Amino acid sequence: MNFETVALDDKNSALVIVDQTRLPGEVVTLRLTRQQEILDAIRTLKVRGAPAIGVAAAIGLYLAAKSICADSFDAFYREFRAAKEALAATRPTAVNLFWALERMEKVVLDSRELPVLEIKRRLYSEAVAIREEDIKMCRAIGEHGLKLLHDGDGILTHCNAGRLATVQYGTALAPIYLGHEKGYRFRVFADETRPLLQGARLTAFELALSGVDTTVICDNMAARGMQNGWVQAVLVGADRIAANGDVCNKIGTSALAILAQHYGIPFYVCAPTSTIDLNAATGADIPIEQRPDSEVTEMWFEQRMALEGVKVYNPAFDITDNALVTGIITEYGVARQPYGESLKAICEQKSAQE
């Protein structure tokens, strides 16, 4: 794991990413210099994971701004807005994408009296800051989450919320990585995560390379693992968290939360405050991305696995009711019920420190 998931090569005006669609078979680094390449990379999951998408979008928007040839603010801003809207249209659910783009636009609007060249310099600084903040946020999440775990714990994960979904450490995997550094002997059970297999292809890949005891299980085997007493905690990430604590995450997360409650296992959501959307009152206010039918019927198979013409329902995410969530681990600490109060307090703490 001696590669960076998302980086900026400013000298060559490139967004540098690891193509996650090629893992685990091969590690391929892409250097994207055209805006359409960046848009396609986000849309087709070559870069994925809410925090990583936010960082990639910030870098992508900076590179778009860098290429704009305009002397006046109005001409520059017109092209900047078009680039921002194109990036915003790539993925509808992960709020980090919109959070990063709004931060970049605020830099532009706050600098409207400055020369265009200076605006571009400030956009560079903001994109770099967003990336560096992601590293710090994830490490802090890991430190807070590790306090809730014990040496020898069995930990169940879903999808990929590790290094490949962020710049470093990850969100749900950050406590595991920090614990591993300190000598904790965790046993991780990675749900394969149908239909895109992020758990099998990505989580197991990065944990195994890092020396963490990892076992891949099919999604429908989670209950059996819990019955066997193998699981002491469930750690998942989030793509958006509503103000009331409802959690939007990769499809299948809600079922795990229901199982965890049944077996008395703590269910923790690990996410930076940039994932909290106080404008979404409940999970019902979060748009759910619908993915192509072929991901279910054809993507991983030599021949089609469902009869041609059979209808397919393929939502990328589901909503986990806040009543099923034991705690939401952020870089500012752990929010607990009532989430309407604790999440608001954490966001206020963040604002006070900015």
Candidates 134, 153, 191, 239; catalytic one: 239
Q: Are 304 and 293 in contact (CB under 8 A)?
A: no
Q: Are 76 and 66 in contact (CB under 8 A)?
A: no
> How many Å apart are CA 290 and CA 75, to the nearest integer?
35
3-state secondary structure of 211: coil
Residue 239 annotated to the active site:
yes
Nearest Cα to 238, choosing from 159, 155, 123, 133? 159
Distance of alpha carbon 76 from its chain centroid, rounded?
A: 30
Sheet with 187-191, strands from edge to edge, namely 213-217, 187-191, 154-157, 233-236, 267-270, 327-330, 333-335
**Which CB contacts under 8 angstroms, 24+ apart, belong to 87-90?**
87/38, 87/39, 87/42, 87/57, 87/60, 87/61, 90/39, 90/42, 90/43, 90/57
Q: Which residues are catalytic?
A: 239
